[in-house]
């Protein structure tokens, strides 16, 4: 009889995986901050104006809970701002399901050819992007099922500020 054992516990493996994912998020964040997203105008058209915006970008294959967190944050941003500042752009074909589930009644834009993620070198999604008036990325937040309420609140408050 042979018994195999390991010193690593599930908890330490989870922490290692989370650290690895956080490092990837930080690398992507660094690569995208300050970048102008030219393709936004192609998707949003006349909806985009000189005022700063927040975009929730996601794909239908993303973590469902993470998408829900993104929608929740967008609604909080709009509520605090007193007007619509947040927009949803998706490559998902099942837009209505996500809208209904999250009780989101604003228009959801469809990026049929995934041009925004392509321009951003296929950034992980879902992602919230705070854009300045020149459509440059000012701040990024990756909604996650492991809620980081402190950073969520910071991003929501920063994004809802009146300009």
Q: Do residues 115 and 41 touch, judged by C-beta distance below 8 A?
A: no
- The confidence score (pLDDT) of residue 12 equals 55
Show the DSSP H helices in 33-141 as ranges: 40-44, 64-81, 95-101, 115-119
What is the residue range of 130's domain? 36-160
Length of the chain: 163
- The confidence score (pLDDT) of residue 112 equals 92
pTM of the model: 0.84
- Please indicate, yes or no, if residue 86 is contained in any of the structural domains: yes
Q: How many domains does the chain divide into?
A: 1
Give the CATH number of the domain where residue 112 resides.
Answer: 3.40.30.10
- Please indicate, yes or no, if residue 126 is contained in any of the structural domains: yes
Q: How many C-beta atoms surround the C-beta of residue 13 within 10 A?
A: 11
Q: What is the C-alpha separation between 98 and 146, in angstroms, rounded?
A: 20
Contacts of 155 (CB under 8 A, 6+ apart): 73, 128, 130, 139, 141
pLDDT tens digits for range 82-137: 988 899 999 987 888 889 999 999 999 999 999 999 999 888 999 999 999 888 99
- Please indicate, yes or no, if residue 5 is contained in any of the structural domains: no
């Amino acid at each position: 009889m042979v018994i195999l054992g390991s010193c690593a516990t599930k908890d330490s493996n989870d922490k290692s995986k989370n650290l690895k994912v956080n490092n990837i998020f930080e690398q992507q964040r660094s690569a995208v901050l300050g970048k102008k997203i030219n393709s936004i105008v192609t998707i949003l058209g006349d909806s985009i104006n000189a005022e700063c915006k927040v975009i929730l970008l996601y794909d239908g294959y993303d973590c469902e809970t993470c998408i829900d967190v993104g929608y929740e944050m967008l609604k909080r941003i709009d509520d605090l701002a007193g007007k619509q500042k947040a927009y949803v752009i998706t490559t998902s074909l099942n837009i209505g399901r996500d809208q209904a589930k999250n009780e989101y009644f604003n228009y959801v834009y469809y990026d049929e050819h995934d041009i925004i993620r392509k321009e951003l070198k296929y950034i992980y999604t879902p992602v919230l992007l705070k854009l300045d008036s020149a459509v440059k990325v000012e701040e990024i937040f990756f909604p996650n099922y492991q809620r980081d309420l402190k950073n969520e609140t910071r991003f929501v408050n920063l994004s809802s500020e009146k300009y």
